[in-house]
Amino acid sequence: MGIALITLKLMPESPDSNLEEIKANSKKIIAKGKGKLENIKEEPIAFGLKAIIISFALDESLELESIEEALKKVQNVSSVQVIDMRRAFG
């Protein structure tokens, strides 16, 4: 099996949500799911709302759905969306 490179967009519930707390919890969940965090950044959306964009590598034999479901349960996260998924070569 290969490695999948995955990018997720986490939308907070409001502009007042603690993004640092969401990022810290997300890092723990990805590590627990055996993913290797590559990048985490904030992306402005509108009216002060910022999405969190997380990129990580995951062995294709492991399940992404369990990571997604755990991220959806993080406090102050309203949605989780896969915005990119591709196979890594090399």
Give the pLDDT confidence of 12-43 residue by residue, as tens digits. Answer: 999 999 999 999 999 999 999 999 999 999 99
**Burial class of residue 46 (count of CB atoms within 10 Å of its CB; 0-12, 13-18, 19+):** exposed
Q: What is the pLDDT of residue 89?
A: 73
Query: In the chain, what are the domains?
Result: 3-88 (3.30.70.60)
What confidence tens digit (pLDDT) does each residue in 52-84 have? Answer: 999 999 999 999 999 999 999 999 999 999 999
Listing DSSP states for 4-62 in one string gives EEEEEEEEESSTTS-HHHHHHHHHHHHHHTT-EEEEEEEEEEETTEEEEEEEEEEETTS
